Chain A
């Protein structure tokens, strides 16, 4: 029995120097990949290349232009945008914004291309040509033009005229994503500071897609800087309490640090970017992998206290632990690797990096750790440990109350699970960032005062070249835009028909009665030709008209909405199109907001498959490891119930699950299964090797692994609670729910699993006592 394990332990000790050097070389090689790691600064990383919403949006961007932006929102302290001094600030900011790296377009009140009729001329000029020449009269005129212009109101100026914006469109080449976005952000922040210093009566807020992208890396960096050290500290304290020795604690920390470095480096080799989810990998590896070393060391100290010498104690510890530590590492890795089913690449990366880290910590815990220990002077006081009184009393309590506990726990589970449907799949991606991230505050200000961050892009298609000049098509586009304007969610609609109406008025001597769509196709086409010839560099219409003029881009700006509200609005809009569109041949909603709206559901569906496969694999491993079909299947109860209970409690208290939580089930599955493995293997050993009946076996399991389960669960809960402090909601939600599920798993393993085992074995008890125990 355990011949292989003992031989393995002996070999490790025999070739300890070789083992240490080989381990360090392996870690060194894996860690060398760290140089490829870079912070991602693009929200697109959350969407796989074949995500349909992403593909639709990229097709739209390739048809028109990319519209990633930085928006400067300017709030004058006197609450009036239309004063000479504020216009001077806007003018200067506009001019300087052309210098923003990768900028392709700058839109503001001052460079808005105002059109006017001048006799038979079409005058196209900047709304503010020279702010120094502005008179009160002209300011009043500009105000009246701006707040009545559908292109500007609720986009670049508020209707109360108390805030205005300068919007900078950038075309990031995407060659070096890690540097491009920070470059733009650094430049624009400096620019904003410079303008604020020169014009102290204005305050500038910064939002837009580029700022959001940058916030992803800021959130990751925050987590790396604060959460990782905090979790190290907590783990160190925990280790000191558990191992009661500095040498063991220090050595365990070394093993964990090497595992983290190796895993992150391996991620770099594979080419993973650092995203807020994958930035949690060090904390998770630290938390999950600590158990491997702890098991080896605890057993080792135990045998030394029993009087064994150092080498013998270590070989014995290896003999006892090699298999269970391998099994738990394997099941944990499978749980994390099931995240590969996720439609969200950062979760794939996180899952794989953690799996690598866990397997690495297993390898190091059974090679490097014993090899180093064998070289260190280790002294313990020899004494025979007393039985664990606390665990024995819990064991007795469970055995004595098993007939009440089983239905009681079952009822609790049923009640909690009944709250599960109260969870609604819902996300507000803007709220992924908490208030410690500047972008969130600035965006909240912008949404409250000026315009939204949530956009739907439509490529409204006529399906014939030049079709955008067809009056019937234009009319439908306008109706569609007007329908959106009536929706309570809508803040602004940017639509080409407004330009057409304005041109029609201009070319009829600014006659207000002609502020309507041209009624003839050639007329629209020729207006458009004329207007396009009058526009300056960077302010053209190529961002909203495609090359063969068969389609136009319509952008709807919305309040901050949840994914459910977004999807509902999308449904209503396609319903409208279905009922009303005849000349609009296609108008699919796309854009980052739509991508985020769909990702939660897509991810849950993809994770269902992942979780199922992980569950099947883990159950099979347990059946093989326990060499019992019955016990293997029984293990599914304490493996699955905690997640179901966790989501039930979540449904009761929170009620909303988003992208973050859709990975929790499979992730916790691999973790909670460890407790089950340890408990059941001890139970089974007691039954088979010592021939105890099920009540005695339960008591044995409690006294032998109960405390270990308790302490490892506390470690895990503490580690994941650290994640709950993340400024990135995906991580904090995931951390919180995972901690909850792990706590519930401990309760299930202590209070539900033993009564269930005893119940299942009631009938076979009498039979078994007669037969010699199998070995």
Chain B
């Protein structure tokens, strides 16, 4: 099979990348665009991370030391927005761009020019968003959930720029989603039926549907805000007959599927990595696919569990509680399947596997606190406390972010043609693991003891755990510079990687040489 590809690639050698800046500006090659997405995402990860460092520095001790409350609120808002829309989502789109064509035996993404456009909107959107920090009145300061009327009547003048930035991010995501769907449905190699697709492709297919379903809802809610701010409407203004709670319903109708958009591709990546380093096929492939589908469908009917304290009728309260608890079933199935995959395998623990195993353990802890939060009466005590902060950082940091690190180490040899430095990568893992748990585990205690989220200063009984949490956060934050060094070192050189550097790995991406040539699968491979 690989022989066929090689001959074809030599015939088309003149189709190499353009030279200089044109290669990137006019890029239509899925690998180049994937690389740009990943570089952009990591830049945003460092930017959003440094804002987290500001937050944790202020919270190191009780009292106001470093920043004023106004700026603190801008930091929490920008940290959230940048991490969600700038770091996690583009990282997965980058992985999708690089890996989906390689995994399904396609020559490129189905819509390469749109692919270029959907990437290049992002730097513009984030330049706009970050520029609000330097505007009169400061950046958005109403939290990444931007509840009205704090974000409309009471928002800073920069809110309008924020709205425009969100619109651009939404357009980028929708185009990315359409491209993924078109690619997966049309460009699979002969013989690759849907139920033979790698799980990473499956989870991305479902994620892409979530994206095109909910990003327009986000666009809708920010447009309603724009109308309220500038055109005299009262969608969210009770004084004009509107409804502030409507904002929350619309926002979370987007927001809950959004959290699955950030985690499903990580599920997929981990489902590739665990079998590879267990040297054993994935347990329960079909049930994994159905579980992802079930999670995606349920994600549309649980949004109001973010709003248990707004005073919904009790019937609504019960409906959303039951549906939310139900999500634990398919999520549990996934965890059980991963563990069953490891069971009686032949395990080794290279960096991708370390991150993947930590993913399962820590994501499950985040899932447990999620189950606790689903119990509506108890949520009255948890809601908007640090318990919630601990919960979503446990699903997003060791969930989404560890999933991304695992994927990066897993496929770096394929991307660069070199093996990364395993010792450094393991150091990166252990320091991230310790830092992350130290930063976020004490937050459970803080929340249960009664510390609300989004406060710049706190009562004295919360001092000790906050200090521990800050130290952990500094450790986690600094460690990520090591990742940058590891990747740069790997790009510049290192031990030559074979086509298939992991003996247990399966899939078409390992049939092409490392580094993957500029054009792959110009002639589709045959899947048996």
Is the A/B pair a real complex?
A: no
